[in-house]
Chain A
């Protein structure tokens, strides 16, 4: 959140300190000082290199290599783009993430506004705490919670059938193990995340802005349309990007729900790692690379928007 402002702030804080250091030290010792400074950073850097950067490098490199001969090739990408099922997996993954991010952002924003307007302090804190728990409640347990609720023999399914004679599965053609079922489950962790991200942004709206707008004759609608929303827009876009990335990379929830019968990219990569013979490792690398590219776009947009946020809110 405070990424852009952070760098600006530290620079202004550290500059006087640094200059005083420079005055005290002659030029010769400064070199060793700076080398020692970098040495202290080396253990962490090495750790990140070994377990964070190199796996990514490996994926990039192998996606351009033939997995049998090791020769440089673009055939992995050609296979990926020419097979309908792989293209379809990307389409499903992207639309799943877009739909859940938009649903999460829309409902989450209004819910956050309701939370922001709550006068009761303890209720507000309770909702915030509950959101923190719900945002962290994901993966296998979340999938099972939904199976117990709206699965074939789930509590709500049975309740609707017995009391209201509504048959979710045979009558309404609903299924938890399809695209929309997955949307329902993913929304569960998107909503609380949206609330947690948006609440600080809403709280940072200055009351003076509303007063100024009201003094100039703006109605509540005009205030939101012309003042609040334009200021909040970068935060909202950043939050939506984070929600997108959040669901695009999710594997555990989808796997536990359908045991691999849903055709999305993370599931396909899972097949490759588990040694499914029908999938070539080179193709797996190309799929992983595709995921990285899509996520890079989302994450770059996220950081760009965050810079704008910090500019507006003067942090």
Chain B
């Protein structure tokens, strides 16, 4: 439907007479782009310059820093764990809900909307309270799971494990939506019933029939989760876990030039992930261009 509309769109758009508002919007676009580019350019120059000459000394001192590689590795590990957990948990669930439990869809939509209303800072506070202090109501509501998790041998409060779980929740909105969009775009029900009638089991159908068809959404969700976790500061800071963004903050407060070099580095990291999404997802045949774009929204 949307595809068809867009195809009609193209020739008409060319014929459209130049209206009076045409000059203004181009000026706005240029201004906005300038606003977005100037800080990046300025940071690059600021990071490369020391005094009057341009050199790469700050980059060198950054790369030889022990904490740099240490925190970067930790962040990479956390990002990988969060991405895998998010995909493993949400993809089968989204398929299951689509196929067998359409009644649960409003609940799913609600759960994916909650992170908008409960920002990371509030969530961190709540998590510390839930797993840091004993509370009867919470113990009952969690079916006794919270006391198990918050005492020996798990002692989950302020651990990287809890951080990973929190990251999965944070990325819920932009993991669930692209996967769900993709599931709706392919004819999930018919494909599954065809596979079942040919003797394929649930997991086999999911892994060999459904998953390859929704792969663009899964890749997009995975890269976005990865990129978000790599840059996440709030939760890590409140859990006192020394990740890359924390290192960035600590180093940057003492040395402005180092901060600039690290900023440029983070920008390139973000760029790699986002370009990865664009290249892997948009170019594939059958991707639905415009509609997926909304999914590229990260948590602040």
Contact = CB atoms under 8 A, between A and B. Distances in A.
Residue of A148, A187, A203 contacting most chain B CB atoms (<10 Å): A148
A115 B13 CA distance: 13
For the complex of A and B, the 8 pairs showing the least CB-CB separation, nearest first, are: A55-B126, A249-B119, A114-B29, A252-B233, A110-B28, A114-B25, A220-B19, A155-B42
Contacts of A213: none
Residue of B118, B271, B290 contacting most chain A CB atoms (<10 Å): B118
Given A52-B118, A55-B125, 5 more contacts: A43-B89, A148-B42, A149-B43, A252-B245, A302-B116
A144 B58 CA distance: 15
B28 A140 contact: no
A145 B35 contact: no
Interface in B106-155: 106, 109, 111, 113-130, 135, 137-138, 141-142, 145-146, 149
11 contacts: A47-B165, A54-B130, A55-B130, A58-B126, A107-B28, A130-B33, A144-B252, A146-B39, A196-B294, A252-B300, A270-B237
A282 B149 CA distance: 24
Interface residues of B, number: 122
B64 interface: no
Interface residues of A, number: 122
A196 B297 contact: yes
B36 A138 contact: no
Nearest to B29: A114
Residue of B20, B129, B142 contacting most chain A CB atoms (<10 Å): B129
Contacts of B286: none
Given A57-B141, A299-B116, A141 B231 contact: yes
A39 B232 CA distance: 33
B28 A114 contact: yes
A48 to B, nearest CB: 5
Contact of A111 (B25, B109, B266, B270): B25
Contacts of A40: 92-93, 96, 100-101
B38 to A, nearest CB: 7
B97 interface: yes
A292 B22 contact: no
Interface of A: 1-3, 6-7, 9-11, 13-14, 17-18, 37-38, 40-41, 43-44, 46-59, 61-62, 107-108, 110-111, 113-115, 117-119, 127-141, 144-149, 151, 153-156, 187-189, 191-193, 195-197, 199-200, 203-204, 206-207, 210-211, 220-221, 224, 242, 245-253, 255-256, 259, 266, 269-270, 272-274, 281, 284-285, 288, 291-292, 295-296, 299, 302-303, 314-315
A99 to B, nearest CB: 16
B248 A117 contact: no
B73 interface: no
B233 A256 contact: yes
Contact of A140 (B118, B193, B249, B271): B249
Contact of A135 (B113, B291, B298): B298
A91 to B, nearest CB: 18
Given A57-B138, A203-B9, A252-B300, A108 B233 contact: no
Contacts of B194: none
Given A189-B300, A255-B233, A13 B165 contact: no
Residue of A145, A154, A155, A248 contacting most chain B CB atoms (<10 Å): A145
B198 interface: no
A207 B6 CA distance: 10
Given A203-B290, A251-B120, A256 B249 contact: yes
Contact of A108 (B32, B45, B109, B120): B32
